[in-house]
């Protein structure tokens, strides 16, 4: 399967050992360039198609989990910022909890969290 071989090679080119080799053998100052000749000299271990498929499947799953974790971390950061903003407003008396005609801060917070 050519697609899996291409994905396998793409993952391989992102290995720290290959990146180090590429940087050490690159030209260019601001944007390192690796020539085709340099890449062609590098020995890539190419397992069987079945092993490539398994490796790609494992790495795809790990990458998906990593992306989910990054997304959750970003959401946690947003929640922390929201908490800080609410606390800051509370200390400044801007939540409107002192006026009985206004909606309670608790209900307002529930509405905000329900929208997310």
For the segment 84-116, what is each residue's pLDDT rounded down to a tens digit? 998 888 877 776 656 666 666 677 778 778 876
Where in the sequence is the domain holding 29, given as residue range(s)?
A: 1-46
Same domain, 96 and 39: no
State whether 54 and 111 are in the same domain. yes
Q: 54 and 99: one domain?
A: yes
pTM of the model as a whole: 0.57
Structure tokens that stand for 40 in this block: 């062609």
116 and 94 fall within a common domain:
yes
Q: How many domains does the chain have?
A: 2
Q: Model confidence over 38-97: pLDDT tens digits?
A: 788 888 878 888 999 999 999 999 999 999 999 999 999 999 999 999 888 887 777 665
- How far CA 73 is from CA of 33, 67, 68, in Å, comes to 34, 10, 9
Shared-domain flag, residues 89 and 116: yes
Are 81 and 27 in a shared domain?
no
Q: Do 79 and 67 lie in a common domain?
A: yes
Q: Of 54, 61, 50, 105, give the one whose Cα is nearest residue 83.
A: 105
Whether 73 and 36 map to the same domain: the answer is no
Pairwise CA distance, residues 67 & 20, whole Å: 25
Asked if residue 110 and residue 56 are part of one domain, the reply reads yes
């Amino acid at each position: 399967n050519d697609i899996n071989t291409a994905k396998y090679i793409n993952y391989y080119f992102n290995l720290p050992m290959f990146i180090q080799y590429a940087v050490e053998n690159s030209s260019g100052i601001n944007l390192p360039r690796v020539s085709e000749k340099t890449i062609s000299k590098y020995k890539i271990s190419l397992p069987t198609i079945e092993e490539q498929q398994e490796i790609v499947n494992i790495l795809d799953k790990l990458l998906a989990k990593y992306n989910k974790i990054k997304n959750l971390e970003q959401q946690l950061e947003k929640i922390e910022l929201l908490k800080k903003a609410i606390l800051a407003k509370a200390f400044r008396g801007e939540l409107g909890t002192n006026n009985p005609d206004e909606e309670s801060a608790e209900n307002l917070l529930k509405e905000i969290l329900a929208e997310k």
